[in-house]
Amino acid sequence: MTVIAIDGPSGVGKSSVSREVARRWGFGYLDTGAMYRAMVWLCLNRGVTDPGDVVELVRGADLEISTDPDHEEISVDGIDVTAEIRTTEVSENAQLVSSVQDARDELIELQRAIIAAAADGIVVEGRDITTVVAPEAEVRILMIADESVRIARRSKELHGTADEAAVAATRAQVADRDAKDSKTTSFLTAADGVHTLDTTDIDFAQSVEAVMGLVERARV
């Protein structure tokens, strides 16, 4: 069983690249960020903000997530929240869960269980996958890109354009989230043994080929 761990900040393309790599290899795909988002949605839905209550809520939640790269689905306590977790409100409140270490530990345990249950292989992407969740993965990659490029990409994703107004609306969201997340996770500097893939000047297809090459070498 092959585990491919991919870290990186917003806008580097890790989600789309990870999905495509999983498709090509016939592997599973795990979006750990979606798991955090689902728990944020639950906290907002229940009006929970106290760290202790957040931990209890996360610990007692029935969280299920698809590992099919062609089928995104995540549910909490039997409620499909696939669309709800992508709202701006959820994004802006990510720290409700990600800043609480005991809540992180609960999700990390679940992520490791999902990885262990994978059949032929799985591509796992997020913020601390190469160092905390799956440090023993056969392939560990940190995807990076210049901030201006990342903001433009996320702007196109969120607003369908990267014009001046759209970029301005996206800048704070990307930069602020990276600043907050960097306090609790390590995703800006590659740890020992982790490959750095800079996507600043390469497109989606080239990024996928670069990751495919690393996986092929690891599986020889």
User: Binding site residues for ATP, as ranges?
Assistant: 8-16
| Residues contributing to the annotated binding site | 8-16
**Which residues, including other chains, have CB under 8 Å from residue 170's CB and lie 6 or more apart?**
151, 154, 155, 158, 159
Residue 104 · residue 157 · CB < 8 Å: no
Query: Encoding tokens for residue 176?
Result: 């602020």
CA within 13 Å, CB half, 107? 29
**What whole-number distance in Å separates Cα of residue 154 and Cα of residue 111?**
25
**What number of residues does the chain have?**
220
Phi, psi of 86 (to 5 degrees): -95, 10
